[in-house]
Structures are given as structure tokens and as C-alpha cells.
């Protein structure tokens, strides 16, 4: 079946630095990818919708200058947390949407734990 890969699965960075998380669709092309944030024991919060070749669409309250999203190809989207602070520590999950005969199913990556110290 379709697979979405996220890297790194865990990352620790110092406060003030930037960290990049990659999301790849391994066996299908994804014109649309989504980035979510999940706080402990809570549901997923959509941060932004990433469209290949165009600017990402951010949800209300999400700082686009802090959470930079790039969707450079049909199989890769990246989320860069700039000038990270401890409150940015969270579980970040991406998803990618298939098309065609599979009926626009959305598959999720394994998630990336970010800890800012």
C-alpha cells in the first residue's frame, strides 16, 4: 500500500536554532500534503496545506514565518521550524493525499518528535 515516510523520527535542537522535517510519499505522487501538530493525548491540529509548486496555505493562528513549508516536488514536502523555542516541542505529523482510482485516500507519516532544549 501507499507509504509516507517522515524524517527524522526524533530530533533534539537547541533553542534559537532551526530544524527541518521531511515528508516523502514513497510510491505515489502527492500534489497535496498536510502538516499537523499533535499535543499529548490530543487530536491532530492542522497547521498547513502544502501544494506542489505553490505557497502553502496556513491555518489561522499558525505563524507562516516560523513554520516554513516547501513542497518542491510531487514526492517531498518539508517543514522547517525556525528559531525554535521550547514551546515548539511537539509531535509533528505529515500526510499525503493520493488520487486516481484509490479515491483520494490520505496516508500519514510516522511522525517526528521535536524537542527544543
Partner 1 sequence: AQSVTQLDSHVSVSEGTPVLLRCNYSSSYSPSLFWYVQHPNKGLQLLLKYTSAATLVKGINGFEAEFKKSETSFHLTKPSAHMSDAAEYFCVVKGDYKLSFGAGTTVTVRA
List of residues contacting partner 1 (CB under 8 A): 4, 6, 32, 34, 42-44, 46, 49, 91, 93, 95, 97, 103-111, 113
- Minimum CB–partner distance for residue 109 and partner 1 (Å): 5
- Minimum CB–partner distance for residue 36 and partner 1 (Å): 9
**Whole-number Cα distances in Å, 68 to 1, 41, 64, 98, 107:** 29, 26, 6, 23, 22
Nearest to 24 by CA among 67, 78, 66: 78
- Helices (H) and strands (E) in the chain — how many of each? 0, 11
Residue 5 or residue 80: which is nearer to partner 1 going by CB? 5
- Minimum CB–partner distance for residue 16 and partner 1 (Å): 26
Residue 16 or residue 55: which is nearer to partner 1 going by CB? 55
Q: Cα(30)–Cα(59) distance, rounded to whole angstroms? A: 20
Residue 75 or residue 97: which is nearer to partner 1 going by CB? 97
Amino acid at each position: 500500500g501507499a507509504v509516507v515516510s517522515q524524517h527524522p523520527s526524533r530530533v533534539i535542537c537547541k533553542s534559537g536554532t532551526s530544524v527541518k522535517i521531511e515528508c516523502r510519499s514513497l510510491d505515489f505522487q502527492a500534489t497535496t500534503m498536510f502538516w499537523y501538530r499533535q499535543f499529548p493525548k490530543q487530536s491532530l491540529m492542522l497547521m498547513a496545506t502544502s501544494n506542489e509548486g505553490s505557497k502553502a496555505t496556513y491555518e489561522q493562528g499558525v505563524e507562516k514565518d516560523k513554520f516554513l513549508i516547501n513542497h518542491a516536488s510531487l514526492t517531498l514536502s518539508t517543514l522547517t521550524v525556525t528559531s525554535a523555542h521550547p514551546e515548539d516541542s511537539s509531535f509533528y505529523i505529515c500526510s499525503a493525499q493520493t488520487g486516481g482510482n484509490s479515491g483520494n485516500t490520505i496516508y500519514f507519516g510516522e511522525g517526528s518528535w521535536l524537542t527544543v532544549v
